[in-house]
């Protein structure tokens, strides 16, 4: 095994096939992938920290199954995958620390299983490097322990595409067909529209090559994960088309929108860049963003020469379609949107990197290896810096919500209660209240309903500091909170009930 391992790094055709299968790979390869996955989990716990409070979107997802507060408004683009993911913990425990640890461990396990899906296609060291490259991006680490869907779409994409390539090369690989189904279901379960974009190249290949067995597995997975979202569309939105239109409206009316520059600016740690009017960061922050496509293209060229085109071209194609809507069809940016593309690109990028640092005879190229090592160290330093600042900034905002909730409790706003207005969803969750909005993306209540509720329950209208409250709350008593104002309705009538 030791003598035959080196040529594998340069895609040496048939010799690769013997080296990526069988018992030797399982013993050594599984250990490498497990080490990467364990390091990923450990880094999440050390750098992101389990004490980080729940964010705005997390509040929406966790509140659907949690016991701390009433369920927040669930808008059209969202899917029920994350609530189901966190249900084993959130349904009985209010501990954010426990939830973070659970998600960190689960995401590490998911990374390991997703990488293993490629075990008959690439050497273990290439897959371990791909996993390490993806897992050390600040955005991957940041969202690893969070109750958000995008990273889980990325894991599903890795699993689905890897198993698709395996099943395409070996029609007798039944496990691969099941992997296609499970990966597609996971993606569709988390974000149905993202699942469609990721799998577009696979659907084209299925039709072109008449891989009907794979087509059945892929279609079944997409349907199994998305059926609840589709049923909910007819029950709550008047139909699938209506839900898609509403989702488009909430996302700023999907159409031709060049968001490449917005995504680039968001790399500095802006978890949501809407509008993205921040300055372009230093080149060191986004340099990797331009290196990755070049390395992926080189990896494809090497694969073509070695007769291994499909296993590199297919993930590249799926990464391209996964990124397309977030680069060209949406008018704002969030780094997490591109996680599925990053995960798929990691495979050909790692393959290219090993071919750059090793000669055709398998020996290391000292000069190239040294340059690559220095570049990697610099890249990791930048990723850590961005992650550290992002964690500090988000921690501060969530501490403010918790302080506001404590102050609202002191002022008599206790469950059952209602909060409306500025940042009502997260503050209401921390307070244990219902949240409401008279308009916008989360519109779910009318002025009359607010006033009716105020006769029975404590009600507060939140505004940004110094801003004018809505008309119905202008006579309510003003209190200054941590980073916001609240106008509290007169005490409910005696004997009022929830």
Question: What confidence score (pLDDT) does residue 239 get?
Answer: 95
Q: Average pLDDT for residues 330-355, to the nearest whole number?
A: 96
* Collapsed DSSP state (helix, strand, coil) of residue 68: coil
Closest CA to 383 of 144, 143, 44, 137: 137
Q: Write out the two tokens for 290.
A: 């331009």
pLDDT surpasses 70 at 497: no
**pTM for this entry:** 0.93
Rounded Cα distance, 3 and 308, in Å = 22
Reported as a single tens digit per residue, the pLDDT across 247-281 is 999 888 888 999 999 999 999 999 998 888 888 99
Q: 184-193, 272-281, 316-325, 389-398: lowest mean pLDDT where?
A: 272-281
| Helices 192-209 and 174-190, axial angle in degrees (round to 10) | 150
Rounded Cα distance, 414 and 457, in Å = 9
Q: Average pLDDT for residues 222-246, to the nearest whole number?
A: 95
Cis peptide before 275 (omega within 30 of 0): yes
- Supply φ then ψ for residue 418, to 5 degrees: -140, 135
Rounded Cα distance, 38 and 50, in Å = 16
Closest CA to 76 of 197, 291, 213, 240: 240
Reported as a single tens digit per residue, the pLDDT across 40-56 is 999 999 999 999 999 99
Rounded Cα distance, 29 and 117, in Å = 12
What strands lie across the sheet with 485-488, from one edge to the other? Answer: 434-436, 418-421, 459-463, 485-488, 477-480
Rounded Cα distance, 225 and 212, in Å = 20
* Collapsed DSSP state (helix, strand, coil) of residue 292: helix
Residues 319/341, Cβ–Cβ less than 8 Å: yes
Rounded Cα distance, 324 and 194, in Å = 10
Strands 477-480 and 459-463: unpaired
Closest CA to 420 of 447, 441, 452, 455: 447
Question: What confidence score (pLDDT) does residue 68 get?
Answer: 86
13 confidence band (pLDDT: 50, 70, 90):
very low
Rounded Cα distance, 247 and 7, in Å = 49
Reported as a single tens digit per residue, the pLDDT across 103-125 is 999 999 999 999 999 998 999 99
Q: Average pLDDT for residues 331-345, to the nearest whole number?
A: 97
Residues 488/454, Cβ–Cβ less than 8 Å: no
Reported as a single tens digit per residue, the pLDDT across 53-82 is 999 999 999 999 998 899 999 999 999 999
Question: What confidence score (pLDDT) does residue 26 get?
Answer: 64
Give the residues across from 86 on adjacent strands. none
Residues 349/299, Cβ–Cβ less than 8 Å: yes
Q: Write out the two tokens for 187.
A: 């993606």
Alpha carbon 21 to chain centroid distance? 31
Q: Average pLDDT for residues 419-436, to the nearest whole number?
A: 96
DSSP state, 117?
Answer: T
Residues 435/453, Cβ–Cβ less than 8 Å: no
CA angle 334, 340, 344 (to 5 degrees): 140
Residues 202/240, Cβ–Cβ less than 8 Å: no
Rounded Cα distance, 442 and 454, in Å = 20
Reported as a single tens digit per residue, the pLDDT across 153-167 is 999 999 999 999 999
| Helices 150-169 and 212-236, axial angle in degrees (round to 10) | 150
DSSP 232-261: HHHHHSSSHHHHHHHHHHHTT--SSB--HH
Q: Average pLDDT for residues 336-346, to the nearest whole number?
A: 98
| Total Cβ atoms within 10 A of residue 19 | 21
Residue identified by tokens 């239109």 is 245
């Amino acid at each position: 095994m030791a003598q035959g391992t080196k040529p594998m790094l340069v895609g040496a055709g048939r010799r690769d096939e013997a080296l990526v299968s069988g018992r030797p790979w399982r013993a050594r390869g599984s250990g490498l992938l497990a080490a990467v996955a364990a390091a990923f989990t450990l880094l999440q716990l050390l750098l992101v920290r389990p004490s980080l409070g729940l964010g705005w979107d997390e509040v929406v997802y966790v509140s659907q199954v949690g016991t701390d507060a009433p369920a927040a408004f669930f808008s059209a683009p969202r899917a029920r995958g994350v609530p189901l993911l966190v249900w084993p913990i959130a349904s009985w425990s209010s501990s954010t620390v426990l939830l973070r640890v659970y998600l960190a461990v689960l995401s590490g396990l998911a990374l390991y299983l997703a990488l293993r899906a490629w075990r008959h296609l690439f050497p273990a060291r290439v897959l371990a490097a791909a996993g390490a490259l993806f897992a050390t991006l600040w955005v991957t680490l940041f969202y690893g322990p969070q109750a958000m869907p995008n990273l889980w779409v990325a894991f599903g994409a890795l699993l689905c595409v890897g198993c698709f390539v395996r099943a395409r090369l070996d029609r007798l690989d039944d496990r691969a067909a099941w992997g296609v189904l499970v990966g597609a279901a996971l993606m569709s379960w988390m974000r149905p529209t993202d699942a469609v974009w990721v799998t577009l190249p696979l659907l084209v290949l299925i039709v072109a090559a008449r891989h009907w067995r794979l087509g059945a597995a892929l279609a079944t997975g997409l349907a199994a994960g998305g059926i609840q979202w589709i049923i909910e569309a007819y029950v709550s939105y008047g139909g699938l088309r209506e839900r898609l239109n509403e989702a488009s409206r909430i996302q700023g009316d999907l159409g031709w929108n060049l968001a490449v520059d917005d995504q680039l600016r968001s790399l500095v740690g802006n978890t949501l860049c809407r509008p993205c009017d921040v300055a372009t960061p230093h080149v060191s922050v986004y340099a990797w963003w331009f290196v990755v496509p070049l390395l992926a293209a080189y990896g494809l060229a090497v694969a073509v020469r070695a007769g291994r085109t499909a296993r590199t071209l297919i993930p590249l194609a799926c990464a391209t379609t996964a990124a397309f809507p977030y680069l060209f069809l949406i008018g704002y940016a969030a780094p997490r949107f591109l996680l599925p593309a990053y995960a798929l690109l990691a495979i050909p990028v790692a393959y290219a990197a090993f071919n750059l640092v090793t000669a055709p005879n398998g020996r290391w190229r000292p000069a190239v290896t040294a340059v690559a090592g220095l570049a990697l160290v610099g890249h990791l330093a930048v990723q850590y810096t961005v992650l550290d600042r992002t964690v500090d900034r988000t921690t501060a905002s969530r501490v403010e919500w918790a302080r506001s909730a404590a102050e609202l409790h002191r002022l008599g706003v206790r469950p059952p209660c209602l909060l409306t207005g500025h940042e009502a969803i997260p503050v209401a969750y921390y307070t244990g209240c219902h949240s409401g909005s008279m308009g916008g993306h989360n519109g779910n209540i009318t002025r009359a309903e607010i006033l009716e509720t105020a006769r029975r329950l404590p009600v507060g209208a939140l505004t940004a500091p110094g801003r004018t409250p809505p008309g119905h709350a202008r006579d309510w008593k003003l209190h200054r909170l941590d980073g916001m104002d609240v106008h509290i309705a007169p005490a409910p009538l005696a004997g009022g009930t929830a």
